[in-house]
Amino acid sequence: MSGEQAPLSSPTIFLGGDDLAKSFSWPHAIDALRQAYGADFTEGMFPPRAVARGDGFWLRTLTGIAPVGAIMGAKIIAANIRNKRASYLIPLFDQESVELVSLLDGNAITGYRTAATTALALDALARKGRVSVGILGTGFEARNHLRALAAVRSISAVHVFSPNPDSRAKFREALTPLGLDIAGVSSAREVLDTRPDILICAARSRNEQALFDGAWLSPGITVASIGSTLPEQREVDPVTIARADLIVADMAEEVAHDTGDMRAATQAGVDFQRKLVPLADLISGRHSGRKTSDEIILFKSVGSALQDLAVAAMCFSRARALGLGTLLPKTIHPVLK
């Protein structure tokens, strides 16, 4: 041993997908993210993600120290592209005792935090009042995004597009509990022709082409793009980026330089840097956000450790209060230095 073991004050709790589903709440998650993004934090508290690469597999880590609460932790993603599988793990440590307080299913947290962050941004950026929503995509992310948005905004109508009619029908069926007016349409153009207040892009584009033509956007729309997080991925086109009066990003530098959408815009000669604003500036009030009802606004998300830790800590706190999770019979001991 490299040092004397410190006494433990609490065991480590494992929270699997079922535990997280029972402890999760959209309003609580969005509020946790609002507090985190509104707090003061430095770049050093959330360093750039690191990726170790092998031949067809990789290990990615996102680390952070929560600006509110008392935890620090990471999300670790192990992926084998050849075998089409990935594992996600989130360890949470107490900042003072550095005890490992919880291990969480990181895949479940990822599915929640992405949509909750988008809802937080859209609530701040979209025109006030009841909103109509267009959605491109009918999968897991699309469904969660509508659930999250419905937790913070009153929604008048939803128009959703997927190339598969069965997928559109299953989407409507899955979201029946929301009590919304949801209509499936047969093209992205039809979605934009309804002139929605909000457009959510949550579909993997075919042949890595943009999902729609930016010329179709109507004044006042707020677009959320969450499906293009890598240089080879595309979701919105340079026209959309050029027409946007304001672009808000959860990780501004990463969005600007490491996403296919923004790289394509740069190659097309679109100067977007002057209108690119970090989400933290919006939520903290350092930037005023929408100035007029006719502005076109784009929110672009690639994910961050701040989001993972804020939502994971919220779930851990609620799960502990509800008596959920599995107490591990053994755990690691901090050592005295």
pLDDT on residue 205? 63
pTM over 0.85: yes
Q: Give phi and psi for 231, each to the nearest 5.
A: -60, -30
- If one counts every other C-beta atom within 10 angstroms of the C-beta of residue 117, the result is 28
pLDDT on residue 260? 83
- Note whether 176 and 201 are within 8 A (CB): no
| Sheet containing 222-225, strands listed edge to edge, beginning at the edge strand earlier in sequence | 182-185, 155-161, 131-136, 198-201, 222-225, 297-300, 246-249, 276-278
Pick the CATH number of 114-304 from 3.40.50.720, 3.10.450.50, 3.40.1360.10, 3.40.50.2300: 3.40.50.720
Residues 6+ apart with CB under 8 A from 284: 37, 38, 39
- Which CATH fold would you assign to the domain 13-110+306-327? ornithine cyclodeaminase, domain 1 (3.30.1780)
Distance between CA atoms of residues 234 and 261, nearest Å:
5
Where along the chain do its domains lie?
13-110+306-327, 114-304
- Note whether 136 and 201 are within 8 A (CB): yes
Distance between CA atoms of residues 312 and 323, nearest Å:
16
How do strand 155-161 and strand 222-225 relate by DSSP bridges?
Answer: unpaired
pLDDT on residue 193? 98
Q: How far does the chain reach from its first CA to its final CA, in angstroms?
A: 12
pLDDT on residue 207? 62
Beta bridge partners of 104: 15, 90
pLDDT on residue 8? 85
pLDDT on residue 187? 96
Q: Exposed, middle or buried: residue 79 (CB in 10 Å: 0-12, 13-18, 19+)?
A: middle
Query: CA dist 256 to 20, 241, 262, Å?
Result: 33, 11, 6
Distance of CA 104 to the CA centre of its chain: 17
The count of C-alpha atoms lying within 13 angstroms of the C-alpha of 81, restricted to the half-sphere facing its C-beta, is 7
- If one counts every other C-beta atom within 10 angstroms of the C-beta of residue 306, the result is 26
Specify the DSSP element, H or E, that contains 198. Answer: strand 198-201
pLDDT on residue 206? 60
- Note whether 113 and 22 are within 8 A (CB): no
How do strand 198-201 and strand 222-225 relate by DSSP bridges?
Answer: parallel
Q: For the chain (length 337 residues), average pLDDT per consecutive 10?
A: 78 97 98 96 91 94 94 97 95 97 96 96 97 96 97 98 96 97 97 98 77 96 86 86 97 87 93 95 96 97 94 98 97 91
Helix axes 26-38, 106-125, angle to 10 degrees: 70
For the chain, how many helices (H) and strands (E)?
11, 15
